Chains A and B, each alone.
Chain A
Amino acid sequence: MGIESSRILRNSPFVKPIDAILNWCREYSCWPYAFGTACCAIEFMAVAASHYDISRFGAEVIRFSPRQADLLVVSGTISEKMAPILKKIYDQICEPKWVMAHGACTCSGGIYDNYCTVQGIDTIIPVDVYVPGCPPTPEAFLDGLIKIQKIIEGESIRDPKYCGE
């Protein structure tokens, strides 16, 4: 947003209210990037569809361009062949960004432990919230989203990731 880079604001006494406003905005307007590869992506589609309706949580603007998203939702098994692409997509998303590992495969490799599967995406990129399940129910996904919102709520423009210090 650019506000974070202002040293004056960071050191001002108004940090708390600024944080509150910024976080409130970010929390309820997550733009997810759907990095869906497998079964979990179908459940992600269900979350986005009419019944579970992700827009109740302000996250219905699903983007397929990393430049327009701030929440990376990784749904589905990541193979060794896919790993460099995931890394590239993550690097392309601008700060501030959050990552949700959606499903057992992204959390830990799930039931696949063999020559071609990555054992958890946290070996490639940092992860904020893990949503277990194979696949997780839509309710579990929404729970994960709420957890992301809680993380955002606790952030401050004084955090190292914003100051670049």
Chain B
Amino acid sequence: MADLVAQTLLEKFPEAVSLAPDFRDEEAVCVTRESIIQVLRFLYSNPDTEYTLLEDICGADYPGREDRFEVVYQLYSLKTGGHVRLKVGLQEEDPTLPTAIGIYKAADWFEREAFDQYGIRFEGHPNLRRVLNHEDFVGHPLRKDYPIKKRQKLTRPTNLGWEEGQSRGNGDGSEQTGEEPEWMTLNIGPAHPTMHGTLRILARLEGETILKAEPEIGYLHRGFEKTSEALTYQQVIPLTDRLNYCSAMMNNVGYCRAVEKLLGIEVSKRVQYIRVIVSELSRIIDHLVCIAANLVDIGALTPYWYCFRERENVYELLEALCGSRLTTSYTRIGGLSHDLPDGWVDKCREYIRDRIPRAIEETETLITKNRIFVDRTSGVGAISADEALNWGFTGPCLRASGVPFDVRKANPYYDYDKFDFDIPVGSNGDTYDRYLVRMEEMRQSLRIIEQALDGLPEGPISVEDRRVSLPEKDAVYTKFGPLVQHTKLIVDGIVPPEGEVYSVTEAANGVLGFYIVSDGTKRPYRIKVRPPCFAIFQALPQLVEGSMIADLIAIVGSLNIIAGELDR
């Protein structure tokens, strides 16, 4: 199936499309900027392919090349289960190309990010302004010629121009004329309990009804991508912990899997199973935090205590595994930092059989049929399946709308196809469904862990590959070959071949993608994270339009926006 798409594109657009270098069997084509919209529209609407999910748009900078900038589109087809990457080269003098918002609404913030970080202009974008950096920022930080430590101070809080009724960030340029109903602008966040300390929403209100809302993000932008370009591949792992810090393990796994794909290595079955176990444990605690925080926001404090008690138990397991509660850094490229400690499996079994189900049951009893909760969440913030897909939703939020898409089923990795588990889907796509889907996903994760523990194979926890794994200490002290290998790995680090990969895993919030470009040196040339909640949060204006302020609080909580991966 895979090759078909590139072939079809070549036949259909012979002048505009050329094949990108073949690497790790990924489908990638180069497209001219004049025809990019045509190609996207063709891929989107062609019944054979139906690339309905735009996963990512990102920029890249290659100062030596004729076309200095590159814009990379990652598309996914739910029908065929295939990815395709489109690359558009742009010259330094004129880095402009047409916007894809007309086809994919998801393009909105991704294009703004490419503009912010690289200065690539998207013609026709309705609101092309900075998204991660502050408005007084000069230059584009991810360009290779921007010094990593060049800081730019902001002396006053960001002004979106809304307060004065200006048109910027508003779209329609409206001012109060006296004929329309009176509205007021309410600023919510970033220092607001529901906004997780880092989100900001400007809402235009008529009475208590939200006429229009605009989220502002970037308050936790901490330069993950620029920083990682200055590190070696192994050193990036601790940074990935801090993307989605509620489930750090899954980021570790996602990143290592991408680098392993780049290197072309396959980890042992034992490593795969352990990664599955820790990922699913992380999924559970992530959902627990999301549900607990959401409930606290809308006034139900009791379940928070129940959820956090069990969360502490899982932390105990993770701490035994890697010595740290939150920032795990447990995986290594090609394996794990160390094997499971003695007695861990039994302890884990006890937790997943007794304790965690108890927390789920207790929350279920308290909340699921609670009249107040149902009234406040049912029908609130609903989004249809098509709309959700078009906005780039993935994970529980997409499944709540009724699309049974889960990377673990659609493109199984790490033996997920051998485990018996179900994908819960909602029917209305509202806040209540998102809650139900998360509850059920925790149960399914327990099933997966149970099966993985039962089938946990013996084996090494690191691959036998000279490029990535350190030799045995005894051998280093006594033999010449291992000594050289050890020294080389420590000094040079891991050096993958030249090429680029895009690898996805199913994280707690949805599709977590890593796009890594290697130039054949020990440092990554470009790492782009495809954060699941970035795409979800940009749809907020649509979700909250016409609802009350109190609904907005419930909706934001149910989307599970984690600022670490949102702003990176």
Residues of A near any B CB (own CB < 8 A) = 34-39, 41-43, 45-46, 49-51, 64, 66, 76-77, 79-85, 88-89, 111-117, 134-135, 137
Contacts and interface: CB of A to CB of B under 8 A. Distances in A.
Contacts of B156: 84
Given A84-B154, A111-B238, A116 B191 contact: no
A114 B197 CA distance: 21
Given A80-B154, A135-B326, 20 more contacts: A35-B191, A37-B190, A38-B222, A38-B563, A39-B241, A39-B242, A41-B196, A41-B197, A66-B191, A76-B220, A77-B222, A79-B218, A79-B219, A80-B134, A80-B151, A81-B154, A81-B158, A113-B227, A115-B150, A135-B327
A89 B191 contact: yes
A79 B130 CA distance: 15
B304 interface: yes
A38 B154 contact: no
Contact of A115 (B146, B157, B192, B218): B146
B197 to A, nearest CB: 4
Contacts of A35: 191, 197
A37 B219 contact: yes
A78 B564 CA distance: 12
> Mostly helix, strand, loop or mixed at chain A's interface?
loop
8 contacts: A37-B190, A49-B308, A51-B308, A66-B191, A76-B197, A79-B220, A84-B154, A115-B150
A41 B196 CA distance: 9
Contacts of B311: 46, 49
Given A51-B312, A111-B239, A77 B220 contact: yes
Nearest to A63: B193
Given A79-B219, A80-B152, A115-B226, A85 B190 contact: yes
A64 B192 CA distance: 6
A39 B198 contact: no
B545 to A, nearest CB: 26
Interface string B217-247: 0111111001100000000001101100110
Nearest to B192: A64
A99 B536 CA distance: 35
A13 to B, nearest CB: 43
A81 B308 contact: no
A112 B223 contact: yes
A37 B148 contact: no
Contact of A114 (B158, B220, B226, B289): B226
Interface in B310-343: 311-312, 315, 325-327
B538 interface: no
Given A111-B238, A114-B149, A36 B223 contact: no
| 4 tightest A-B CB contacts, nearest first | A49-B308, A39-B245, A114-B223, A81-B134
B62 interface: no
A84 B309 CA distance: 36
A49 B132 CA distance: 32
Contacts of A113: 149, 227
A49 B304 contact: yes
A115 B141 contact: yes
A70 to B, nearest CB: 16
In the complex, which of the residues A80, A88, A135 has the most CB atoms of chain B within 10 Å of its own CB atom?
A80
B152 A115 contact: yes
A123 B564 CA distance: 23
A41 B245 CA distance: 10
Nearest to B312: A51
A117 B223 CA distance: 8
B23 interface: no
A133 B171 CA distance: 44
Contacts of B312: 46, 49-51
B154 A137 contact: no
B371 interface: no
Contact of B325 (A43, A49, A81): A43
Interface string B239-268: 101100110000000000000000000000
B305 interface: yes
Nearest to A66: B191
B153 interface: yes
Contacts of A135: 325-327
Nearest to A77: B222
B157 A49 contact: no
B222 A114 contact: yes
In the complex, which of the residues A46, A82, A117 has the most CB atoms of chain B within 10 Å of its own CB atom?
A82
B227 A112 contact: yes
